[in-house]
Amino acid sequence: MEDAQITDSAWPDPRDFWRDRRVVVTGGAGFLGTAVVDTLLRRGAENVFVPRSRDYDLRDADAIKRMLDDTRPDLVIHLASKVGGIGANRETPAEFFYGNLMMGTQLFHECWRRDVAKFISIGTVCSYPNDAAIPFREDDLWAGYPEETNAPYGLAKKMLLVQAQAYRAQYDYSSVYLLPVNLYGPHDNFDPASSHVIPALIRKCVEARERGDREIVVWGTGRATREFLYVEDGALGIVLAAERHDDCEPINLGSGYEISIADLTRTIAKLTGFDGELSWDTFKPDGQLRRCLDVSRAREAFGFEATTHFEEGLEATVRWFEESRGAIST
Protein backbone atom coordinates (compact mmCIF):
# COMPACT_ATOMS: atom_id res chain seq x y z
CA MET A 1 0.00 0.00 0.00
CA GLU A 2 1.66 3.22 -1.15
CA ASP A 3 0.98 6.19 1.09
CA ALA A 4 2.41 9.37 2.54
CA GLN A 5 4.38 7.52 5.21
CA ILE A 6 6.36 5.54 2.63
CA THR A 7 7.45 8.55 0.58
CA ASP A 8 7.91 11.01 3.46
CA SER A 9 11.17 12.82 2.69
CA ALA A 10 11.68 13.72 6.36
CA TRP A 11 12.84 10.15 6.97
CA PRO A 12 15.86 8.34 5.46
CA ASP A 13 15.39 6.25 2.34
CA PRO A 14 14.19 2.84 3.58
CA ARG A 15 16.25 1.08 0.94
CA ASP A 16 19.40 2.28 2.71
CA PHE A 17 18.21 0.72 5.97
CA TRP A 18 17.17 -2.66 4.57
CA ARG A 19 19.98 -3.10 2.06
CA ASP A 20 22.18 -6.08 3.08
CA ARG A 21 20.17 -6.71 6.28
CA ARG A 22 19.11 -10.28 6.89
CA VAL A 23 15.60 -10.30 8.36
CA VAL A 24 13.69 -13.15 9.99
CA VAL A 25 9.91 -12.79 10.24
CA THR A 26 8.47 -15.47 12.51
CA GLY A 27 4.87 -16.12 11.57
CA GLY A 28 5.71 -14.62 8.19
CA ALA A 29 3.42 -17.01 6.31
CA GLY A 30 0.39 -16.01 8.39
CA PHE A 31 -2.21 -13.30 8.09
CA LEU A 32 -0.16 -10.37 9.41
CA GLY A 33 3.17 -11.94 8.48
CA THR A 34 2.37 -12.10 4.77
CA ALA A 35 1.57 -8.38 4.79
CA VAL A 36 4.76 -7.59 6.73
CA VAL A 37 6.91 -9.57 4.29
CA ASP A 38 5.28 -7.82 1.32
CA THR A 39 5.93 -4.44 2.95
CA LEU A 40 9.56 -5.31 3.63
CA LEU A 41 10.12 -6.32 0.02
CA ARG A 42 8.51 -3.13 -1.27
CA ARG A 43 10.75 -1.05 0.97
CA GLY A 44 13.97 -2.63 -0.26
CA ALA A 45 14.63 -5.68 1.90
CA GLU A 46 16.31 -8.39 -0.15
CA ASN A 47 17.09 -11.06 2.46
CA VAL A 48 13.85 -11.99 4.24
CA PHE A 49 13.48 -15.42 5.82
CA VAL A 50 10.21 -16.97 6.98
CA PRO A 51 10.75 -19.98 9.27
CA ARG A 52 7.88 -22.49 9.10
CA SER A 53 6.48 -24.22 12.16
CA ARG A 54 6.86 -27.63 10.50
CA ASP A 55 10.62 -27.00 10.40
CA TYR A 56 11.13 -25.02 13.61
CA ASP A 57 8.84 -25.38 16.62
CA LEU A 58 9.55 -22.06 18.32
CA ARG A 59 8.31 -23.39 21.65
CA ASP A 60 11.44 -25.56 21.68
CA ALA A 61 14.77 -23.92 22.57
CA ASP A 62 16.82 -26.25 20.37
CA ALA A 63 14.62 -25.49 17.36
CA ILE A 64 15.10 -21.76 17.97
CA LYS A 65 18.87 -22.17 18.08
CA ARG A 66 18.81 -24.22 14.88
CA MET A 67 16.63 -21.62 13.14
CA LEU A 68 19.00 -18.81 14.08
CA ASP A 69 22.01 -20.86 12.95
CA ASP A 70 20.32 -21.47 9.60
CA THR A 71 19.20 -17.88 8.95
CA ARG A 72 21.84 -15.72 10.74
CA PRO A 73 19.57 -12.64 10.99
CA ASP A 74 20.52 -9.05 11.70
CA LEU A 75 16.95 -8.25 12.72
CA VAL A 76 14.03 -10.38 13.93
CA ILE A 77 10.36 -9.43 13.71
CA HIS A 78 8.50 -11.83 16.00
CA LEU A 79 4.91 -12.27 14.81
CA ALA A 80 4.41 -15.97 15.48
CA SER A 81 1.75 -16.56 18.11
CA LYS A 82 -1.21 -18.66 19.08
CA VAL A 83 -4.29 -16.48 18.66
CA GLY A 84 -8.06 -16.85 18.65
CA GLY A 85 -11.36 -15.33 19.65
CA ILE A 86 -13.13 -15.33 23.01
CA GLY A 87 -14.33 -18.90 22.67
CA ALA A 88 -10.90 -20.34 21.92
CA ASN A 89 -9.29 -18.34 24.73
CA ARG A 90 -11.86 -19.63 27.21
CA GLU A 91 -11.50 -23.27 26.13
CA THR A 92 -7.68 -23.53 25.99
CA PRO A 93 -6.18 -20.77 28.18
CA ALA A 94 -3.16 -22.88 29.15
CA GLU A 95 -2.23 -23.41 25.51
CA PHE A 96 -2.48 -19.68 24.81
CA PHE A 97 -0.30 -18.85 27.81
CA TYR A 98 2.37 -21.53 27.40
CA GLY A 99 2.74 -21.34 23.63
CA ASN A 100 3.07 -17.58 23.45
CA LEU A 101 5.33 -17.30 26.48
CA MET A 102 7.75 -20.01 25.34
CA MET A 103 7.97 -18.76 21.76
CA GLY A 104 8.63 -15.18 22.74
CA THR A 105 10.94 -15.29 25.73
CA GLN A 106 13.23 -18.04 24.43
CA LEU A 107 13.54 -16.47 20.98
CA PHE A 108 14.29 -13.05 22.47
CA HIS A 109 16.99 -14.52 24.75
CA GLU A 110 18.69 -16.44 21.96
CA CYS A 111 18.68 -13.36 19.71
CA TRP A 112 20.45 -11.42 22.46
CA ARG A 113 22.96 -14.27 22.99
CA ARG A 114 23.79 -14.32 19.28
CA ASP A 115 24.11 -10.53 18.89
CA VAL A 116 21.10 -10.15 16.59
CA ALA A 117 21.17 -6.37 16.24
CA LYS A 118 17.46 -5.67 16.83
CA PHE A 119 14.33 -7.51 17.97
CA ILE A 120 10.78 -6.36 17.20
CA SER A 121 8.20 -7.78 19.63
CA ILE A 122 4.51 -7.76 18.77
CA GLY A 123 2.30 -7.59 21.84
CA THR A 124 -1.48 -7.33 22.01
CA VAL A 125 -4.20 -4.93 23.05
CA CYS A 126 -5.46 -7.81 25.25
CA SER A 127 -2.67 -6.92 27.69
CA TYR A 128 -4.42 -3.74 28.79
CA PRO A 129 -6.27 -3.71 32.13
CA ASN A 130 -9.95 -4.58 31.95
CA ASP A 131 -10.95 -1.18 33.36
CA ALA A 132 -8.29 0.94 31.61
CA ALA A 133 -9.33 4.50 30.80
CA ILE A 134 -10.37 5.18 27.18
CA PRO A 135 -8.44 5.69 25.01
CA PHE A 136 -5.83 3.16 26.14
CA ARG A 137 -2.54 4.94 26.79
CA GLU A 138 0.71 3.05 26.97
CA ASP A 139 1.48 4.47 30.42
CA ASP A 140 -1.64 2.70 31.78
CA LEU A 141 -0.56 -0.77 30.68
CA TRP A 142 0.21 -1.88 34.24
CA ALA A 143 -2.74 -0.18 35.95
CA GLY A 144 -4.72 -3.42 36.46
CA TYR A 145 -5.42 -7.01 35.40
CA PRO A 146 -6.48 -7.81 31.81
CA GLU A 147 -10.01 -8.91 30.92
CA GLU A 148 -10.26 -12.48 32.20
CA THR A 149 -11.32 -14.29 29.03
CA ASN A 150 -8.00 -13.54 27.31
CA ALA A 151 -5.75 -12.66 30.26
CA PRO A 152 -3.44 -15.71 29.85
CA TYR A 153 -2.73 -14.72 26.25
CA GLY A 154 -2.38 -11.02 27.07
CA LEU A 155 -0.04 -11.61 30.01
CA ALA A 156 2.15 -14.05 28.09
CA LYS A 157 2.62 -11.44 25.37
CA LYS A 158 3.23 -8.70 27.94
CA MET A 159 6.21 -10.62 29.33
CA LEU A 160 8.06 -9.66 26.16
CA LEU A 161 7.82 -6.05 27.29
CA VAL A 162 9.28 -6.96 30.69
CA GLN A 163 12.05 -8.86 28.94
CA ALA A 164 12.77 -6.04 26.52
CA GLN A 165 13.11 -3.51 29.31
CA ALA A 166 15.21 -5.83 31.47
CA TYR A 167 17.62 -6.61 28.64
CA ARG A 168 17.84 -2.95 27.71
CA ALA A 169 18.66 -2.04 31.31
CA GLN A 170 21.28 -4.75 31.83
CA TYR A 171 22.71 -5.30 28.35
CA ASP A 172 21.61 -2.21 26.37
CA TYR A 173 19.95 -4.59 23.92
CA SER A 174 18.02 -2.95 21.07
CA SER A 175 14.37 -3.91 20.83
CA VAL A 176 10.94 -2.41 20.08
CA TYR A 177 7.62 -3.46 21.64
CA LEU A 178 4.42 -2.79 19.69
CA LEU A 179 0.79 -3.17 20.76
CA PRO A 180 -1.44 -3.59 17.69
CA VAL A 181 -5.18 -3.42 18.06
CA ASN A 182 -7.36 -6.13 16.45
CA LEU A 183 -6.35 -6.59 12.81
CA TYR A 184 -8.61 -7.45 9.90
CA GLY A 185 -8.39 -7.74 6.13
CA PRO A 186 -7.99 -10.21 3.25
CA HIS A 187 -6.38 -13.56 4.16
CA ASP A 188 -7.70 -13.39 7.73
CA ASN A 189 -8.62 -16.57 9.63
CA PHE A 190 -12.25 -17.44 8.88
CA ASP A 191 -12.39 -20.70 10.84
CA PRO A 192 -15.48 -20.46 13.10
CA ALA A 193 -13.66 -22.27 15.91
CA SER A 194 -10.82 -19.77 16.23
CA SER A 195 -11.54 -16.61 14.23
CA HIS A 196 -11.86 -13.10 15.61
CA VAL A 197 -15.05 -11.08 15.42
CA ILE A 198 -14.81 -9.55 11.91
CA PRO A 199 -14.06 -12.73 9.93
CA ALA A 200 -16.49 -14.69 12.12
CA LEU A 201 -19.30 -12.23 11.37
CA ILE A 202 -18.49 -12.08 7.66
CA ARG A 203 -18.64 -15.84 7.34
CA LYS A 204 -21.81 -16.08 9.45
CA CYS A 205 -23.60 -13.47 7.34
CA VAL A 206 -22.49 -14.84 3.97
CA GLU A 207 -23.46 -18.40 4.84
CA ALA A 208 -26.80 -17.30 6.32
CA ARG A 209 -27.55 -15.34 3.13
CA GLU A 210 -26.73 -18.35 0.98
CA ARG A 211 -28.95 -20.67 3.04
CA GLY A 212 -31.78 -18.14 3.05
CA ASP A 213 -31.76 -17.87 6.85
CA ARG A 214 -33.88 -15.07 8.25
CA GLU A 215 -31.86 -14.67 11.46
CA ILE A 216 -28.32 -14.85 12.77
CA VAL A 217 -27.33 -15.01 16.43
CA VAL A 218 -24.34 -12.98 17.62
CA TRP A 219 -22.44 -13.41 20.88
CA GLY A 220 -22.97 -10.89 23.67
CA THR A 221 -25.09 -7.78 23.93
CA GLY A 222 -23.59 -5.80 21.05
CA ARG A 223 -22.77 -2.93 23.41
CA ALA A 224 -19.04 -3.65 23.63
CA THR A 225 -16.82 -1.50 21.42
CA ARG A 226 -13.66 -2.32 19.53
CA GLU A 227 -11.05 -0.62 17.41
CA PHE A 228 -9.72 -2.34 14.30
CA LEU A 229 -6.65 -1.83 12.11
CA TYR A 230 -6.46 -2.89 8.46
CA VAL A 231 -3.72 -5.50 8.10
CA GLU A 232 -1.70 -3.58 5.50
CA ASP A 233 -1.68 -0.51 7.74
CA GLY A 234 -0.56 -2.68 10.66
CA ALA A 235 2.24 -4.19 8.59
CA LEU A 236 3.47 -0.75 7.59
CA GLY A 237 3.48 0.37 11.23
CA ILE A 238 5.62 -2.61 12.22
CA VAL A 239 8.12 -2.07 9.42
CA LEU A 240 8.36 1.67 10.11
CA ALA A 241 9.07 0.94 13.77
CA ALA A 242 11.82 -1.49 12.77
CA GLU A 243 13.39 1.15 10.50
CA ARG A 244 12.95 4.31 12.51
CA HIS A 245 12.64 3.50 16.20
CA ASP A 246 14.97 2.20 18.91
CA ASP A 247 13.28 2.30 22.29
CA CYS A 248 11.61 -0.46 24.33
CA GLU A 249 8.77 1.59 25.77
CA PRO A 250 5.44 0.15 24.53
CA ILE A 251 3.81 1.77 21.50
CA ASN A 252 0.21 1.34 20.34
CA LEU A 253 -0.61 0.63 16.70
CA GLY A 254 -4.20 1.42 15.83
CA SER A 255 -6.59 3.45 13.73
CA GLY A 256 -8.14 5.58 16.46
CA TYR A 257 -11.64 4.56 15.26
CA GLU A 258 -14.00 2.90 17.78
CA ILE A 259 -17.18 1.04 16.81
CA SER A 260 -19.73 -0.99 18.79
CA ILE A 261 -20.16 -4.68 17.99
CA ALA A 262 -23.82 -3.95 17.19
CA ASP A 263 -22.88 -1.30 14.60
CA LEU A 264 -20.11 -3.54 13.26
CA THR A 265 -22.58 -6.39 12.81
CA ARG A 266 -25.08 -4.17 11.01
CA THR A 267 -22.34 -2.87 8.70
CA ILE A 268 -21.13 -6.38 7.84
CA ALA A 269 -24.70 -7.56 7.26
CA LYS A 270 -25.17 -4.70 4.80
CA LEU A 271 -21.88 -5.36 2.99
CA THR A 272 -22.57 -9.09 2.67
CA GLY A 273 -26.17 -8.65 1.56
CA PHE A 274 -27.70 -10.36 4.60
CA ASP A 275 -31.06 -8.67 5.29
CA GLY A 276 -32.43 -10.89 8.06
CA GLU A 277 -32.78 -10.26 11.77
CA LEU A 278 -29.83 -9.85 14.14
CA SER A 279 -30.34 -11.54 17.51
CA TRP A 280 -28.04 -11.35 20.54
CA ASP A 281 -27.07 -14.27 22.78
CA THR A 282 -26.66 -12.30 25.99
CA PHE A 283 -25.58 -15.41 27.88
CA LYS A 284 -22.31 -15.27 25.93
CA PRO A 285 -19.59 -12.83 27.12
CA ASP A 286 -18.94 -9.43 25.59
CA GLY A 287 -15.30 -9.51 26.63
CA GLN A 288 -13.77 -6.17 27.57
CA LEU A 289 -16.43 -3.45 27.45
CA ARG A 290 -14.42 -0.93 25.41
CA ARG A 291 -11.19 -0.95 23.44
CA CYS A 292 -9.80 2.14 21.77
CA LEU A 293 -6.19 3.27 21.60
CA ASP A 294 -4.33 6.52 21.93
CA VAL A 295 -2.18 6.29 18.79
CA SER A 296 -0.21 9.52 19.19
CA ARG A 297 3.04 7.88 20.33
CA ALA A 298 3.43 5.92 17.07
CA ARG A 299 2.87 9.07 15.04
CA GLU A 300 5.43 11.03 17.04
CA ALA A 301 8.02 8.25 17.32
CA PHE A 302 8.16 6.95 13.74
CA GLY A 303 5.56 8.78 11.67
CA PHE A 304 2.89 6.08 11.48
CA GLU A 305 -0.79 6.81 10.88
CA ALA A 306 -3.40 4.39 9.56
CA THR A 307 -4.82 5.45 6.20
CA THR A 308 -7.46 2.83 5.32
CA HIS A 309 -11.05 3.91 5.94
CA PHE A 310 -12.80 1.26 8.02
CA GLU A 311 -15.70 0.50 5.69
CA GLU A 312 -13.38 0.35 2.68
CA GLY A 313 -11.25 -2.18 4.53
CA LEU A 314 -14.35 -4.21 5.39
CA GLU A 315 -15.46 -4.17 1.75
CA ALA A 316 -12.07 -5.51 0.66
CA THR A 317 -12.24 -8.23 3.32
CA VAL A 318 -15.76 -9.33 2.35
CA ARG A 319 -14.79 -9.34 -1.33
CA TRP A 320 -11.72 -11.49 -0.65
CA PHE A 321 -13.74 -13.97 1.40
CA GLU A 322 -16.44 -14.27 -1.26
CA GLU A 323 -13.84 -14.83 -3.99
CA SER A 324 -11.68 -17.24 -1.97
CA ARG A 325 -14.31 -19.51 -0.41
CA GLY A 326 -13.07 -22.64 -2.17
CA ALA A 327 -9.56 -22.25 -0.79
CA ILE A 328 -10.65 -21.65 2.83
CA SER A 329 -10.77 -24.66 5.08
CA THR A 330 -14.13 -25.39 6.67
* Separation of alpha carbons 272 and 302, rounded Å: 36
Is residue 89 a contact partner of residue 96, using CB atoms and an 8 Å limit?
yes
The angle subtended at Cα 63 by Cα 58 and Cα 69, nearest 5°, is 115
Check if the beta carbon of residue 11 is closer than 8 Å to that of residue 244: yes
Active-site positions? 153
Evaluate whether 307 touches 3 at the Cβ level (below 8 Å): yes
CA separation, residue 29 to residues 85, 116, 145, 191, 328 (Å) = 20, 22, 32, 17, 15
Residue 124 makes CB contacts below 8 A (sequence gap 6+) with 153, 154, 157, 179, 180
Interatomic CA distance for residues 91 and 287, integer angstroms: 14
CB 27 within 8 A of CB 80: yes
Q: How many Å apart are CA 193 and CA 130, to the nearest integer?
A: 24
Give the alpha-carbon dihedral of 126, 236, 165, 28, to 10 degrees: 80
| Integer Cα distance of 313 and 97 in angstroms | 31
End-to-end CA separation in angstroms for the chain: 30
Residue 51: how many other CB atoms lie within 10 Å: 24
Q: Residues 6 or more apart from 233 whose CB is under 8 A from it?
A: 1, 255, 306, 307, 308
Residue 81: closest CA among 37, 129, 123: 123
